[in-house]
Amino acid sequence: MKNKIIITLFIFCISLTVSAQKIFDIKKYGAVGDGKTLNTKAIQKAIDAANKSKGGRVVFSKGTFLSGSIVLKNNVELFFEDGAVLLGSTNPDDYPKFEGIRALILAYESKNIAVNGKGIINGQGRELALAIDSLHHTGVRIDPKYNYRRMRPEDGRGKLISFVKCDSITMKHITLKNSPGWVQCFRECKNIVIDFMKVESRAYWNNDGIDVDGCENVRITNCNVNAADDGICLKSEEQGLHNNNIYIGNCTIRSSANAVKFGTGSYGSFKNVTIENIKVFDTFRSAIAIESVDGAEIENIKVSDVTAVNTGNAILIRLGHRNGDKAGYIKNVSVKNVKAQIPFGRPDIDYDMRGPEVDYFHNPFPSSIAGIPGHLIENVTLENIEIVYPGRASKGMAYHPLSRLKDVKENIKGYPEFTMFGELPSWGFYVRHVNGIEMKNIKLILEKEDFRPAFVFDDVKNLTMNAIDIPSDKNNQIVFKDVSSSNLDSEAAKRKIEPEQNKFELPAH
């Protein structure tokens, strides 16, 4: 609550500043809204004039304004009237780097900046990417690391919006479309307010909707994100980048990757993060993915009121050790009031630019909470969780008998995704290398038969299970391997087995 009050006060202060600003109409500085004239210089003149005047509102009236990179400066608001479009150039030469940043709208060490209004910022990302691709093949701009299957985010495409080391940022009501790379990235910034934003970015690869990289005091609310990559992503791409006091609420997300994700870059820390009232649909990977694989410290995370329909996985909490001198940690995570429906097939099939392909002749994956040997995830609470699974698992596809739980790969250095362990021996939850986990009021539903148990716990300490609702026609639904200090209610206790009881179980032929 304290964090919410602090961020609300920042909103109020920024709004007061913006309301007192002078008006700078880009047309008066030579901009032409015909969709053909390159207006980069005219728009920059208006921004510079507003900055020189100690603050102002740079107005985009109705029209389509073609532009290359523009630099947002102190005390300047870009305001888009209804019907106004900022159209990104498809010429890569119109995006020179500024302080190492390449984007359509960028800012570096700026304060009190804003991008507001009911207009549209359209990066023409696919057209720009194809132009870069053509320049490579014609020998004009050779990329020595060119990958014909998937262009790299650093290949010259840039981002739609990139703010670095900025303070007091407001973005409201704006629509962001068709970014050439990440839609927007906030790196080492603080006091960020994003509200009622719409993101439509399925133009090309690496189209994360909203990326927050080492930022403090961030509020993302009432947003609608449709992205070909991760929807809302908290990152720590380098050591020393810390995310602290983050609030994400009342957002709707559709993604060909993960909906809300911590990582993959996870070198610094993620602390005091609240995520609530999230709707997820048609999303390929996880509704909620909390990952530390590069040494990140993840602590005090609260997730609640998440509804996910047609989504590849509900929950992934992963502590790995991909990079860094030592593994990080994940502790004090609460996930409450989650309803999810998992399909049998690929949930993002309608995306024309989908994430990396996987073999979908598999057994559906459970939610996973997994640390690594010697580094346990600590103090996790799961409460009021309902997940509908498709079932239909087949022993003929892949099979981990309960007597061979040790054969489930650790994949300590692997890229963190819910598919990273391969076929898993449970259909509901797979929990490994965890100390302190409470599961209360968990309901797991099967649409079709599944030969696997609902829960597998492997190397787990201090487990509590209460009010567990699983299919009543199946016994042996809760499997323990190296579980100590467990507290199960009577119904859960009746369903528990030890894998040693099945050591002579034979695989299907």
Please spell the DSSP secondary structure of 181-216, one letter per residue: S-SEEEES-EEEEEES-EEEE-SSSS--SEEEES-E
- Residue 13 has a pLDDT of 52
336: which 2 tokens?
Answer: 């409450």
Name the DSSP class of 341.
E
The topology (CATH level 3) of 1-219 is Pectate Lyase C-like (2.160.20)
Q: Which one is predicted more confidently, 403 or 82?
A: 82
Q: Band of the pLDDT at 476, cuts 50, 70, 90?
A: confident
The mean pLDDT value for 157-168 works out to 94
Of 37-41, 253-257, 260-264, 343-347, the one with minimum mean pLDDT is 343-347
* Rg, C-alpha atoms of the chain: 24
Residues whose CB is less than 8 angstroms from the CB of residue 339 and which lie 6 or more positions away in sequence, other chains included: 306, 307, 308, 386, 387
Cβ atoms 312, 358 nearer than 8 A = no
Distance of CA 183 to the CA centre of its chain: 12
Whole-angstrom CA distances from 482 to 195, 375, 433, 499 are 47, 15, 10, 10
Helix (H) or strand (E) holding 389: strand 377-389
- Statement: residue 148 has pLDDT above 90: no
Cα(237)–Cα(225) distance, integer angstroms: 22
Phi, psi values for residue 40, rounded to 5°: -55, -50
- Statement: residue 19 has pLDDT above 60: no
Q: Which one is predicted more confidently, 492 or 358?
A: 492
Q: Band of the pLDDT at 355, cuts 50, 70, 90?
A: low
314: which 2 tokens?
Answer: 């509900």
The mean pLDDT value for 302-324 works out to 97
Percent pLDDT > 90 in the chain is 75
Q: Band of the pLDDT at 180, cuts 50, 70, 90?
A: confident
The mean pLDDT value for 161-179 works out to 97
- Residue 396 has a pLDDT of 85
The mean pLDDT value for 69-86 works out to 98
Question: What pLDDT, in 10s, does the model give residues 219-273?
Answer: 999 999 999 899 999 999 999 999 999 999 999 999 999 999 999 999 999 999 9
Of 122-131, 138-147, 488-497, the one with minimum mean pLDDT is 138-147
Cα(271)–Cα(257) distance, integer angstroms: 23
User: What pTM was computed for the model?
Assistant: 0.92
Kindly tell me the number of DSSP H helices and DSSP E strands found in the chain.
4, 31
The mean pLDDT value for 72-101 works out to 96
Would you report the helix, strand and coil content of the chain in percent, each value rounded to 5?
15, 50, 40
- Statement: residue 297 has pLDDT above 70: yes
Question: What pLDDT, in 10s, does the model give residues 399-439?
Answer: 888 889 999 999 999 999 999 999 899 999 999 999 999 99
Q: What is the mean pLDDT of the chain?
A: 90
Residue 142, number of CB atoms within 10 A of its CB: 10
Longest dimension (CA), the chain: 82
Phi, psi values for residue 125, rounded to 5°: -60, -40
- Residue 68 has a pLDDT of 97
- Residue 415 has a pLDDT of 95
- Statement: residue 125 has pLDDT above 90: no
- Residue 490 has a pLDDT of 87
Cα(495)–Cα(364) distance, integer angstroms: 22
Q: Where are the domains of the chain?
A: 1-219, 230-499
The mean pLDDT value for 313-338 works out to 97
Cα(353)–Cα(153) distance, integer angstroms: 15
- Residue 150 has a pLDDT of 54
Cα(500)–Cα(217) distance, integer angstroms: 50
Beta bridge partners of residue 479, listed in sequence order: 456, 497
Say which amino acid occupies 63: G
- Residue 152 has a pLDDT of 53
- Residue 506 has a pLDDT of 37
- Statement: residue 356 has pLDDT above 90: no
Cα(288)–Cα(274) distance, integer angstroms: 12
What is the bridge-based pairing of β-strands 56-60 and 70-71?
A: unpaired
The mean pLDDT value for 170-174 works out to 98
Q: Band of the pLDDT at 18, cuts 50, 70, 90?
A: very low
Beta bridge partners of residue 70, listed in sequence order: 105
Q: Which one is predicted more confidently, 59 or 474?
A: 59
Cα(283)–Cα(200) distance, integer angstroms: 14
Name the DSSP class of 413.
T
- Residue 17 has a pLDDT of 47
Name the DSSP class of 259.
S
- Residue 15 has a pLDDT of 46
Helix (H) or strand (E) holding 141: none
Q: Which one is predicted more confidently, 14 or 462?
A: 462
- Statement: residue 505 has pLDDT above 60: no
Q: Band of the pLDDT at 472, cuts 50, 70, 90?
A: confident
